[in-house]
Amino acid sequence: MAGEIVYLKAERNVEVPEDDVFLKDIAKIYCANGNIAAKVKAIKVHRFSEAEPQRQVFGILKLIEMIQQACPNVTVENVGETDVLVERVNVDSHKGGTQWLKVVFVACISFFGTAFTIMAFHNDVGITKVFGKVYELVMGQPSPGYSILEVTYSIGLAVGIIVFFNHIGGRRITKDPTPIEVEMRIYEKDVNDALVETADREGKTVDVS
Amino acid sequence: MFLKHIFLGAMGISFGMFAAGGVFTVLISVGLIPRFAGKMHVSSKVFLFEEAVVFGTLLGDFISVFERHGKLGEFVLKNELFGQGRTEETWYVAGTAIIVVFGFFAGIFVGCLALAIAEMLNTIPIFSRRIGFRHGLGIAVLAVALGKAVGSLLYFAKAVYLYGGM
């Protein structure tokens, strides 16, 4: 058994639906020896109770210590994150009516907010005047108010955002993630980093001393 | 004449695409919608929110560029959509409801946008570091929010916009 290497790939952020947190929930584990792998995976890392905060940060050294206590003489190689943020989530609160209410709320903000923003933008740049000037410049006579310019501008605007967001009606144009999806992941990463750093600074990280 | 129209059309399309690119790069780079979705734990519905952004923009574009055809209230009142004689009262209520919904959500969006832009420039962290500010960040944020609300109300109540370019 001596000299076995356990590879540990810890995740940055884990959401667990149950009170008990096992090592297999928060990290991927590989070991050439299947018995050791199974034993390591079943290590109980933490138990959430009602009184405790619903987030907990673990230092990787603590996990390595646990592994070595369970299986002495193994070598642990960490190829993943050095801090793991474990969140206890309530599965029930993640679906149902309130969830849909939130979705509708955010969708409303996105819809009316951008409608307002584009109107404010048009107002700022005085778009009717600009169009009138351009029309007069090209056609040599005053704009009748609505011309091909306004129509094509709107088409261009639509094409622009659809290309920019890379999808229409739930179908992707190319396979790339959309800009909001990218921003979403960046935002989640920033939040995780901030939570880990804060826990570290407040000394709430579970780690070897 | 025909060639000139083609030229105008090409210009219109490029204006539109670049306006979309410019305005939306700002909106996306301040990361407002991911933040809303993250706060509400509905990040799986990002697609829907993007659709909302697309159609919201198209609505706003229609209202502001095709102003003459976007007059919903006039249309409803002229055609007496809610029946003879009752339309005016019914539409007063319905129209108010639409305005309230629009104002509320647009207000949330713009309020967050203003602060998100300030935050992107790291105003708050830099300032609080300079003056050695440690506690009471919550009070400061509340003060910012109240200040914005009071400022906005004053702006409309005292018609500050009439003095534009003072």
Domain containing residue A48: 5-92
Q: How many domains does chain A have?
A: 2
Residues A124 and A171 both lie in one domain: yes
Same domain, A85 and A52: yes
Q: Using 50, 70 and 90 to split pLDDT, how confident is the model at B166?
A: very low
pTM of the model: 0.71
DSSP string across B26-39: HHHHTTHHHHHHHH
Interface test mutation site (partner B, options A155, A180, A181, max chain B beta carbons within 10 A) = A180
> Both A129 and A112 in a single domain?
yes
Inter-chain CB proximity A186 and B5 less than 8 Å = no
Residues 95-134 of A with CB under 8 A from B: 99, 102-103, 105-119, 121-123, 127-128, 134
- Are residues B109 and A116, on separate chains, in Cβ contact within 8 Å? yes
Assigned domain for B162 exists: yes
Using the Cβ of A159 and the Cβ atoms of chain B, whether some distance falls under 8 Å is answered with yes
**Number of separate domains in chain B:** 2
Cα–Cα distance, A57 to A86 (Å, whole number): 6
B147 within some domain: yes
Interface contact B67-A99, CB threshold 8 A: no
**Residue B132: pLDDT over 60:** yes
Nearest to A128 by CA among A154, A115, A146: A146
How sure is the predictor about A6, in pLDDT bands with cuts at 50, 70 and 90? confident
Residue B20 clears pLDDT 70, i.e. is over it: yes
Selected residue with higher pLDDT from B127 and A25: A25
What CATH number is associated with residue A36? 2.60.480.10
In sequence order, which residues have a C-beta less than 8 Å from that of residue B156 and are 6 or more positions away?
none
ipTM: 0.72
Which residues 174-203 of A have a C-beta within 8 angstroms of B? 178-181, 183-184, 186-188, 191
Per-residue pLDDT tens for B52-81?
Answer: 888 888 888 888 888 777 777 788 878 777
CB contact (8 A) between residue A156 and residue B40: no
Q: What is the pLDDT of residues B78-114, one digit of tens each?
A: 877 777 777 778 888 888 888 899 989 988 888 888 8
Pick from B104, B119, B134: which residue ends a domain?
B119
* Closest chain B C-alpha to A161 CA, distance in angstroms: 6
- DSSP letter assigned to residue A90: -
Crossing angle between the packed helical segments A179-201 and B32-40, to the nearest 10 degrees: 60
- Full residue range of the structural domain in which residue B160 is found: 122-166
Task: For residue A209, tell me if it sits in a domain.
Answer: no
Report CA-CA distances (Å) from B79 to B10, B87, B95, B96: 37, 9, 15, 19
Minimal-distance CA residue of chain B relative to A188: B38
Q: Tell me what pLDDT residue A52 has.
A: 62
